[in-house]
Amino acid sequence: MSDDDEYDLQQLFMRSMFANGEVDDNDESEEDDYISEHIWKCGDVTVIYHLAILAPGHGNSVWNSSECIAEHMLSSSDRSRLFGEKLEGKFIWPPQRAFEFGAGAALPSLVLLKEGATKVICTDRKINEQTFDALHLSVQKNCEQWGISKEMIRISIVPHTWGEEIEKLTLVDGGGEIDLAIASDCIYNPTYHEVLLQSAAGVLSKENGIFIVGYSFHMNVPPERVLDFFDLASSKFGLEVVSELKQEYDGQRGIGDKDKNRGVVYIKVLAHKDTIYFR
């Protein structure tokens, strides 16, 4: 069997596991075979999201922390729990410019769009076109159901590799610093801690910017290695924890694991020590 034949069989297998409908091995490869559509509901809010099987970094799943962050942005009481006392009355909702790192299914970005954020910048690493096709589909479907016209779409989808070309991020759609950044389950691999922090610190407003970091302990490394992220954030980037919460779920639904210990979500909100929250 040639390498090309083996590759074709691998692609057919992936399509059969993931496709919307039947897969014919004589069919030409269709983009939608690699993208699936799903519904997420919280209270009376319905979000349509899409997953790309070839998305980077487990972005072909919805992680608990993504859901948890999205849930806590949908009501004033949940936002009060998320933001805590230091941000109460100081952080303006909805944000002016919001930013999501490693978005994957991008539930938080879509909720921010629904909540009326002036501008949402949704990013992920550029590995293939399907990841970004899935994000564009999610924006299109939700704008249709929420009655947002094409002219009024306030979300941009931008490729970004953490730690690279950070200055370009501040120029997206007219430019400006970010008052809200989000990273959902992006810190499970300590290898990428510093580059993620480089990007976050590079875009956050030093006046009122906050960085919401959601995570679980997946035991690929000891928990203290994951928590090193926050020590590094403080010591090298001046980002301090201003609020934190813990939420339990029945296992890590995002990747099919039913271990309740892995299902626990921790969220910490960080802000630079020179922001208004420390005055």
DSSP state of 92: -
Supply the mean pLDDT for the chain: 87
Predicted pLDDT at 56: 56
What's the rounded mean pLDDT across residues 132-151? 93
Predicted pLDDT at 12: 45
Whether the predicted pLDDT of 84 surpasses 60: yes
| Number of residues in the chain | 279
pLDDT tens-digit map of 34-62: 899 999 999 999 999 999 887 655 556 78
Predicted pLDDT at 10: 47
Predicted pLDDT at 175: 85
Give the containing element (helix H, strand E) for 167: helix 166-169
Q: Given CA atoms 131, 136, 137, 141 in this order, what sign does their dihedral have?
A: positive
Predicted pLDDT at 106: 95
Predicted pLDDT at 57: 56
What's the rounded mean pLDDT across residues 161-175? 90
Predicted pLDDT at 153: 87
Question: For every residue of 199-260, which 3-state class applies, written as one string?
Answer: HHHHHECCCCCEEEEEECCCCCCCHHHHHHHHHHHHHHHCEEEEEEEEECCCCEHHHCECCH
